[in-house]
Amino acid sequence: MEIRVKRSEFLNELAPMQGIVERRTTIPVLSHILLRGEADQLHLAATDLDVSLTTSCLAEVEGAGGIAVQARKFLEIIRAVVGEEVRLILEDDKRLTIVAGKSRFKINGLSPADFPTLPDVGDHDGTEIPFAQLKAMIGKIIFAVSSEESRFQLNGALFKLKEDSLEMVATDGHRLALVENILEGAKVEDGVLVPRKALQELLRFEGEDKVLFRRGEHHLSFRLGRREMICRILEGTFPDYERVIAKDNDKQAIFDRRNLTDAIQRVALLTGDRARAVSLQFDTERLVISAANPDLGEAAEEVTCEYGGDELRLGVNPDYMVQFLSAMETEKVTLEMKDENTQCIGVPVEGQDRRYLCVIMPMRI
């Protein structure tokens, strides 16, 4: 088999595969990409058994066949060679010759028969979601997804189709982020948990088209153009997040988002690695952010705000606050509070989302 493919187009489809393959694995084939020539297409596939990605690019194919090649090294070679065209010559199912310009490489691979069988969601009906909208929504909640493997049901985000909207929610037990947007033609479905890795890979996709979302018995499919990502549904029960969102926070402070973000980051420089906490002292028309560390010293900064409530002191993790503020698109943000023992709720002022908020649990200082 011999395949001729445009190098630039090949690279565009090859690069996203790197986030899928497992680099540290006891199963060697999971660090490989499957290449398969068929008709006028070069098909590519990568999987870590939980998340899979398939795509293709136009090519001139003589014969038929396939091979699994080591993903990282193969990408390095294709990036390094020069010329508009790359020739892939399959000598047998375990050895591939790469020719581009004046360069020639021969690399060892694995038989396609050794590559795992990729999952399929079947012929289920799907829902089309504007990709720009989906990508923006993921960016606004992914920071709250838990990275603790012991809390597996929190290692992803809740993906919930409502009558005319899409809602996404993530929490790690210390904070919660929720975003909801209008989605015409949405088909009501029970919420489903999308793994963190799948969300991260969707953020790497590029395109202005609509994503076709389909749900199978055990897997989810996201198709954008030639690319289709299929991920395993996370098992477990997501917390009753509406109960976590306080409904009686009667104190509000309105800030310039950038000023608040920068001030918190500066004060946080004197917090310890283990005790990441800053104090927020609210008073009429101002907020004093402070931190004290017995090993490093103290820091304090005053920020103006629209606040007319009683004096209030609240402890928060600065990283949680900054990550939420950085995910916002508006210039103004409102912090809703009740007392030092009640969660702080951040919401944008006049945002484009139907609903967007971040709940941050207080800390004792």
Question: Does the structure show a pLDDT above 90 at 331?
Answer: yes
Q: State residue 257's pLDDT score.
A: 96
Q: Is residue 196 part of a domain?
A: yes
Question: Does the structure show a pLDDT above 90 at 39?
Answer: no
Same domain, 147 and 88: no
For the stretch 150-200, pLDDT in tens is 788 899 999 999 988 999 999 999 999 999 999 988 888 889 999 999 999
CA count, 13 A, side-chain hemisphere, 169: 20
Q: What is the domain range of residue 43?
A: 2-114
Same domain, 232 and 137: yes
Question: How high does pLDDT run on average in the chain?
Answer: 93
CA separation, residue 317 to residues 36, 289, 291, 337 (Å) = 49, 12, 11, 15
- At 93, the pLDDT band (50, 70, 90 cuts) reads confident
Domain finish residue from 195, 220, 240:
240
Domain finish residue from 88, 114, 140:
114
Q: Is residue 10 part of a domain?
A: yes
Same domain, 227 and 272: no
Q: State residue 274's pLDDT score.
A: 77
Q: How many residues does the chain have?
A: 365
d(CA 245, CA 345) in angstroms, rounded, equals 8
CA separation, residue 101 to residues 76, 84, 85, 129 (Å) = 16, 8, 8, 41
Q: Is residue 365 part of a domain?
A: no
For the stretch 63-76, pLDDT in tens is 888 999 999 999 99
Q: State residue 314's pLDDT score.
A: 94
User: How many Å separate Cα 79 from the centre of its chain?
Assistant: 25
CB atoms within 10 A of CB 118: 16
Same domain, 208 and 258: no
Same domain, 251 and 165: no
Domain finish residue from 207, 240, 273:
240
Same domain, 356 and 250: yes
Helices (H), the chain: 7-14, 71-80, 131-141, 196-204, 241-244, 257-267, 318-327
Q: Is residue 20 part of a domain?
A: yes
Q: State residue 23's pLDDT score.
A: 76
Query: Structurally, how many domains does the chain consist of?
Result: 3
The two tokens of residue 271 are 């917090």
Same domain, 234 and 282: no
| Residues 307 and 283 sit within 8 Å (Cβ to Cβ) | yes
Q: Is residue 119 part of a domain?
A: no
For the stretch 225-247, pLDDT in tens is 999 999 999 998 999 999 989 99
Same domain, 193 and 284: no
Q: State residue 134's pLDDT score.
A: 96
C-alpha torsion sign, points 241, 198, 174, 280: negative
| Residues 299 and 348 sit within 8 Å (Cβ to Cβ) | no
The CATH number for 18's domain is: 3.10.150.10
Question: Does the structure show a pLDDT above 90 at 81?
Answer: yes
Q: State residue 165's pLDDT score.
A: 94
d(CA 333, CA 64) in angstroms, rounded, equals 58
